[in-house]
Amino acid sequence: MKKARMSKSKFKAMLIVFFDIWEIIFVKWVSSGQFVNQYYYKEVLIKLREGVKKKRSDLWKNGWVLHQDNAPAHRVFSIQRFLTEKNISILQHPPYSPDLASCDFFFFPKIKNVLKGTHFQRVDDIKMKTAELLKGLTEIN
């Protein structure tokens, strides 16, 4: 008996999401062909700070902790310096460890499970469906 194979996607979409226990703080779709390097990531962090200021003013005043993985763009000196200058503490992530990566065991599996088997004609369709799913995520989920 032959096994059915999943067909490859016509396109891919990369999503950067920052959230806390209560809600999504900031979402950024990465344009097709865009590399997430230190310069791009710094721009994302600038927007994240705006999101924190708007949605979590108490954290904005007192400083906050960012949990990120060990992607190369996260580890470069310019990003570390930026975070230090902006009073953003980093929760260190052990290399190659999924233990603390809440996105890996909570967030993305939840999104992927709902989207599994769905075929989209355009990237915008993926974005719209994902936006719906993000609105539905709560502290209880």
- Range from 2-11, 84-93, 94-103, 106-115 carrying the lowest mean pLDDT: 2-11
Question: What is the average pLDDT across 91-106?
Answer: 70
Residue 97 confidence (pLDDT) above 80: no
Q: Can you tell me the mean pLDDT for 116-123?
A: 88
pLDDT of residue 49: 94
DSSP readout, the chain?
-PPP-PPPPS---EEEEEE-SSSEEEEEEEPTT----HHHHHHHHHHHHHHHHHH-HHHHHH-EEEE----HHHHSHHHHHHHHHTTEEEE---TT--TT-HIIIIIHHHHHHHHTT---SSHHHHHHHHHHHHHH--S--
* Average pLDDT of the residues in 48-75: 87
Q: How confident is the model at residue 140 (pLDDT cuts 50, 70, 90)?
A: very low
Q: Which domains does the chain have, with CATH numbers?
A: 14-115+132-139 (3.30.420.10)
pTM assigned to the model: 0.81
pLDDT in tens, 6-56: 556 677 889 999 988 888 899 999 998 999 999 999 999 999 999 999 998
